Structures are given as structure tokens and as C-alpha cells.
Amino acid sequence: MQKIVPHLWFDKEADEAAKFYMSLFEGSKLKDKTILNDTPSGSVDMITIELAGQEFMLLSAGPLFKFTPAVSFLIACSSVEEVEGLWEKLIENGAALMPIDAYPFSEKYGWVIDKYGLSWQVMYMGDFELKQKITPTLMFVGDQCGNAEEAIQFYTTLFKDSSVGHILRYGEDAAPNGANAIQHVDFVLENQTFAAMDSAYEHNFTFNEAISLMVMCDTQEEIDYYWEKLSAVPEAEQCGWLKDKYGFSWQIVPTMMNVMMQTKDAAKLVQVTEAFLKMKKFDIAEAIRAYEK
């Protein structure tokens, strides 16, 4: 099971977006769809899909949060033609942040916001070995600019099977970015690849709850551990969600929640949903009591 799952918050478009994203990658599949009723957001769609062997969860829960380029998804492509094909689909009713072109770091690359507002980087990787197709990429901007290195060092101390890859720094002539700020770094958490960068340019966005990372936990001990280590904003704690000291959102979720939410027993689904909605940090024992009563 994938330990860390990207979670995408949509207004109403999760189902439509899931179908669109699955159409982009061969071998994609729908893993689960659950509808929760009578939540604070009304009826909520929870959809789990697999893209290029990687799990993503999509949620339709109202217009509370909007995607920003502070988190994007880098697609590693094995050919220029693949880049161009993906770009053509992603740019439709979307917008280019960096136009598709040749750049010093890639023969063919583009950064695009799709029609749902989600940001993608599409890159031809040349001879680079493609170990992971889609890489979540965090951009530290505003007050957090310059914290990318500290953040990834922090994250890699928390998770098993973690490491920091090659750090590319901006250099002396990259103002407004400082010479020691990170232009790009890849890092591994739980054998999954992520990336990070700093950007000192003026941006009107930062991290928010629209994109979070779900950490799937088998035990209450695990939940307690990640909650204690990551949560830094008490007012953001709600229903398994937290914010860390860099403003990035995580969800610390019991693995068994997947089983509970997939029940065909409508009464049990209502009971466990009501129990989860009352919690800040998830309590597995309390959830089991609600599910089994």
C-alpha cells in the first residue's frame, strides 16, 4: 500500500477530473468512489484513482480552497512527443505558467495550469532513468521562501526509507533568489519521490488545504507520532488534517478508514462519518466503536 497519498480538494469536479486524469496515463484505474452525505460541506464525493501506478484521492467538498502553483505535479516523459501530447490535453481551457519550449534543463518542458486549476510540469527526461512517473513538487514562496532545504531535512527525519537527492542551488546571478536558495531538489519519503524548490519572486499564493498529503497509518501509535511531529498550527487541526511549521497541509489517516468508508451498510457509513467529523486527531478505537455499534 502507498504510504503517502496526494489529496486534491475540488469544488464539484472531482468525478469529472478523475476521469480526465485517468485518460492521460495508460493503465490508470478507478480504485474506489464513496459518497458521504450530511457533512458540513453537504454531499461529498471521495474518489481514489491510480495514475501510472500511483494513488491519488480526489474530493468534491465545496469551494473552500483553490489550487495554487505552490504544489504542482511533475510528469516525467520518455519522449518529446509524449510531452507535446500531454501538453495539448492539459492546456485545453487552462493556462501556461512556463510555455512549452526548450530550456537549459530539458529539451522539451512546460508548466501548465489545467482546466480545474491544478498545476502540472511536463518534462522530457532524456536519458534520465524514470523511476516514478509523477512527482509532487512543493514551491516555498513568500515568508516560506528559503525554507525548502530545512523542510526536506525535517521531512526525511520523520519518515522511513527517506533520503535527499542532488540539490541544485540558484547561484550568485539569480536575483531575487539568494545564491544558496534551492532551485530544485528531489527527495524520497517512504520510497516515494517528491521535489521542492524556493522562489523569491512575488507570488499571490502559497500552500493551502486544496492539496495535502495523506499519511496512511496502521496503528494509533503511528497516528500519534506523525501528529505530534507535524502539527504546528492548532487552529488548523480538524478531522485528521493539520498544518506543519511551513504551512503545508497533511492528513494523518488510519488505514482502516478505507475499509470503513467502503462499507455497503448505509447506517454504518453514517455512524463512522459522524464519529470522524467530530475528531481532530483520529482515534482508531473510537472509530471502531462507532462503526460496530
Record the pTM.
0.95
What is the β-pairing status of strands 42-51 and 29-39? antiparallel
Which residues partner with 6 through β-bridges?
213
218 by DSSP, 3-state: which?
coil
- Structure-model confidence comparison of residues 174 and 155, the more confident one: 155
- Cα–Cα distance, 256 to 261 (Å, whole number): 9
| pLDDT (average), residues 53-73 | 97
Is the pLDDT assigned to residue 42 strictly greater than 80? no
Q: Tell me the DSSP string of 94-139.
A: SEEEEEEEEETTEEEEEEEE-TTS-EEEEEE-TTS--S-SEEEEEE
Name the DSSP letter for residue 168: E
- Residue 219 scores a pLDDT above 80: yes
For the residues 197-207, what does the mean pLDDT come to?
95
- Split at pLDDT 50, 70, 90, the class of 290 is confident
**How many CA atoms lie within 13 Å of 220's alpha carbon, on the beta-carbon side?**
7
Q: How far apart are CA 216 and CA 238, in angstroms?
A: 16
Q: Is 240 left (phi over 0), alpha (psi -120 to 50) or beta?
A: left
Say what the pLDDT of residue 270 is.
Answer: 82
What mean pLDDT is predicted for residues 53-81?
Answer: 97
Domains of the chain and any CATH numbers: 4-66+208-292 (3.10.180.10), 71-198 (3.30.720.110)
pLDDT at 39 over 80: no
At residue 202, the pLDDT reads: 93
